[in-house]
């Protein structure tokens, strides 16, 4: 466990990520050392005598995760006033208007864009091959203010894929260095990144009147419950993915005076 933690630390992983990886193995060992005998009567004793990872300390490994901050209104205006390629402007536009994560946008394929019987355009993230859990696998409503270019084939964006099939790291580095860093107020303003646009959208939804139900906004952004530990606890709080028309109504009520049309 220590060797794995050191390796992940050297790769620049966050402490929370390292704990997730190592404690997942610890959970299996805990089952093998105690709980397995409760599930199969034919097993007279545990597979292993004890969980060797129990109590292992990992606080010294990995980066401490810092929370990001939403961009100020003037920074949003400055961001969208920057000269940028159409594809880059489309990424920022989708991030600020739909609630998708950067990796969800960076991996988008044209076949994920659809339209329902009411004429509502949406993205089907159930077709996302990378992150497909209960809260990420959802339909994302596209508000009317977003004018999409002519539909093509394959991926919308050409960010390099990493070994996990994700694009968030190269996309984040490029968008931050090319644009977001230019609208920050000096080095002390380093909690403003491309991910901040999700915080902006969350704040814009909370400011709507009447205020949308938190369960609806969580399904828009694909957020799991903060602090919820078990699937049974989640099921008590969340129903199935809310109706697309509800999500469309919410995101379509938000004004975006900083947006500029694609040219």
**Token representation of residue 190:** 């380093």
What are 186-243's pLDDT values in tens digits?
878 888 999 999 999 999 999 999 999 998 999 899 875 444 434 444 444 445 677 9
pLDDT band of 68, cuts 50, 70, 90: confident
Task: Give residue 124's pLDDT.
Answer: 94
Predicted local distance difference test score (pLDDT) of residue 43: 63
pLDDT at 113: 95
pTM over 0.75: no
Q: 10 pLDDT exceeds 70?
A: yes
Neighbour count for residue 166 (Cβ, 10 Å): 18
pLDDT for residue 234:
46
Average pLDDT, stretch 148-157?
90
Structure tokens at 222: 């694909």
Tens of pLDDT along 69-125? 999 999 999 999 999 999 999 999 999 999 999 999 999 999 999 999 999 999 999
What does pLDDT average to over the chain?
Answer: 85
Give me the torsion for CA of 200, 206, 210, 215, rounded to 10°: 110
Instruction: Note the pLDDT of residue 100.
Output: 94
């Amino acid at each position: 466990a220590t060797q794995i933690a050191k390796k992940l630390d050297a790769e620049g992983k966050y402490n929370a990520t390292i704990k997730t990886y190592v404690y997942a193995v610890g959970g299996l060992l805990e089952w093998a050392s105690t709980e397995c005998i409760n599930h199969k009567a034919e097993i007279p004793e545990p597979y292993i005598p004890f969980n060797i990872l129990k109590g292992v300390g990992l606080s010294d490994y990995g980066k401490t995760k810092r929370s990001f901050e939403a961009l100020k209104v003037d920074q949003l205006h400055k961001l969208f006033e920057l000269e940028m390629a159409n594809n880059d402007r489309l990424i920022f536009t989708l991030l600020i208007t739909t609630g998708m994560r950067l990796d969800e946008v960076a991996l988008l394929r044209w076949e994920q864009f659809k339209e329902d019987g009411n004429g509502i355009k949406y993205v089907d993230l159930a077709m996302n091959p990378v992150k497909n859990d209960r809260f990420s696998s959802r339909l994302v409503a596209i508000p009317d203010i977003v004018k999409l270019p002519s539909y093509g084939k394959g991926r919308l964006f050409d960010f390099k894929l990493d070994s996990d099939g994700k694009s968030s790291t190269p996309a984040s580095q490029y968008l931050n260095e090319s644009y977001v860093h230019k609208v920050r107020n000096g080095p002390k303003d380093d909690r403003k990144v491309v991910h901040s646009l999700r915080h902006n959208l969350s704040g814009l939804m909370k400011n709507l009147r009447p205020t949308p139900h938190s369960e609806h906004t969580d399904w828009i952004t694909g957020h799991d419950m903060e602090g919820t530990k078990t699937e049974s606890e989640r099921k008590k709080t969340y129903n199935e993915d809310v109706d697309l028309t509800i999500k469309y109504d919410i995101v379509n009520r938000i004004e975006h005076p900083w947006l500029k049309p694609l040219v």
